[in-house]
Structure 1
């Protein structure tokens, strides 16, 4: 699988579809954040803002889950196949940071 040959260089070539999907998700999240900012500017009621923040957090968590799954399926699997077991340690550290 040549798909992750760049991972050991700390870059990742993504397919056009994967790139577009990620950018679309991030644009939606960015819009949610702008909406929250607008709510604060308009002195919206706190619970309404909190609900929107929770939705933005859920969207970011969903993005992280998809990105992590793809990373494991491609970069991590390829590195393990190629004997680069240090990638496992990197993955463990990454998961620990995500779980803070």
Structure 2
């Protein structure tokens, strides 16, 4: 064996494998100087993965937990709006004008 330890007699300058062509970091090699690598997280690659199976029931669960915070104010607002509409219609009707005239 001549120098590098292989049977061909060639000397190896590098002491670690740099990977296959097109993918130099797969073989355990170190990235070169000034090389920037980027990666995407799995939720960025497939943002709707499991949406139909898990997302629907998660939405139902969250809505159930918030229903007492949302529904009572809507009921109160609806009742107040109905009262205001009826009061406005009465005040602008003939009997309302006769009863209150120019007071309100």
TM-score, structure 1 as length reference: 0.32
**Which is higher, the Rg of structure 1 or of structure 2?**
2
Q: Which has the higher helix share?
A: 1
Which is bigger in relative contact order (C-alpha 8 A, separation at least 6)?
1
